[in-house]
Amino acid sequence: MNDRELIGRVLAGDPSAERALYDAHVDRVFRLVYRMAGDLDRAQDYVQETFIRGFDRLGDFRGESALSTWLCSIAISITLNGLRKVRRFNERETELDDGLQAGSPVREADPDLKVRLSRAIEALPEGYRTVFVMHDVEGYTHQEIADTLGVQPGTSKAQLSRARARLRAALADFARD
C-alpha cells in the first residue's frame, strides 16, 4: 500500500492504517530526532508529538513531498523548539551552578576524538548542526534536507560546508595526527 492509499484510509478512520503509517515511518523519524536530541526521554517525547501532530494535520498533507519528508519536517520543528527550551533552562541552571562553584578547580579531561567531536557538533549553530546531522550522520541528500527544512538545496550545501569547516577547525589537532 502506498502513502496515498494509507493516508486515505487513516482519514477514513481506519485504526489499522494509523498503525501501518506509524510503523512505516517511526524508525526514520526516531533516528533523526534521537540524533538531534541525544536523550531517550526527550526523543520519545518529540517523536510522540510528531505523530500526534502528524495525524491531526494529515488532512492538510497535499503530497507535494514524500510523507516521510513531511513527518521529518514536523519532527525537526518540534525537536528544535524543544531543544531551545531545554537550552534556555540549562543556561539558567549553569549560571546558578557557576555562582555556587566559583573558585573551584576545573577538571579538564583529555578527551578522545569521539568526545571532542560530540562537543564540537553540539557547539555548532542550530542550522549547521541540523544539516550536518541529517547529511553526514544520517545520510540524507541535500534535496531531502531542503524539502524537510524548507530551504534551497544550495543553502543546505552551504551550511554543511560551514559546519564541516568549524568541525575541522575544532579538531585540527586530530587532523595533524
Partner 1 sequence: MDDDRLDDPIRDAARQYNAPPDTPKEEMWARVQASRRLGAQRGKGRRVVSPRYWVPWAAAAAAVLAAGIGLGRLSVSPETVVPEVAERRAPQVNPTAYRLATMEHLGQSEAFLTLFRTSVVAGGNERLASASARQLLATNRLLLDSPAAEDRRARLLLQDLELILAEIAQLSLESREQDLQLIREGIERGDMMPRLRTAVPAGPNSMQGAL
Binding site for partner 1 (CB under 8 A): 19, 22-23, 26-27, 30-31, 34-38, 40, 43-44, 47-48, 51-52, 55-56, 62, 64, 77, 81, 84, 87-88, 91-92, 113-114, 117-118, 121, 125-127, 132-133, 136-137, 142, 150-151, 155, 157, 160-161, 164-165, 167-168, 171, 174-175
Nearest to 94 by CA among 102, 83, 84: 102
**CB neighbours of residue 68 within 10 Å:** 16
Torsion of CA 154, 123, 121, 135, to 10 degrees: -20
- What grid cell was written down for 60? 492538510
Q: How far is the CB of 105 from partner 1 (least distance, A)?
A: 27
Q: How far is the CB of 165 from partner 1 (least distance, A)?
A: 7
Q: How far is the CB of 9 from partner 1 (least distance, A)?
A: 16
Q: How far is the CB of 173 from partner 1 (least distance, A)?
A: 12
- What grid cell was written down for 124? 555548532
Q: What's the maximum distance between 2 C-alpha atoms anywhere in the chain?
A: 64
Instruction: Return the number of the residue (4 or 84) whose C-beta is nearest partner 1.
Output: 84
Start-to-end C-alpha separation, the chain: 52
Instruction: Return the number of the residue (62 or 107) whose C-beta is nearest partner 1.
Output: 62
Q: How far is the CB of 154 from partner 1 (least distance, A)?
A: 9
Nearest to 156 by CA among 141, 169, 177, 176: 141
- What grid cell was written down for 35? 540524533
Instruction: Return the number of the residue (103 or 151) whose C-beta is nearest partner 1.
Output: 151
Residue 145 contacts residue 117 (beta carbons within 8 Å) = no
Instruction: Return the number of the residue (64 or 110) whose C-beta is nearest partner 1.
Output: 64
Instruction: Return the number of the residue (3 or 80) whose C-beta is nearest partner 1.
Output: 80
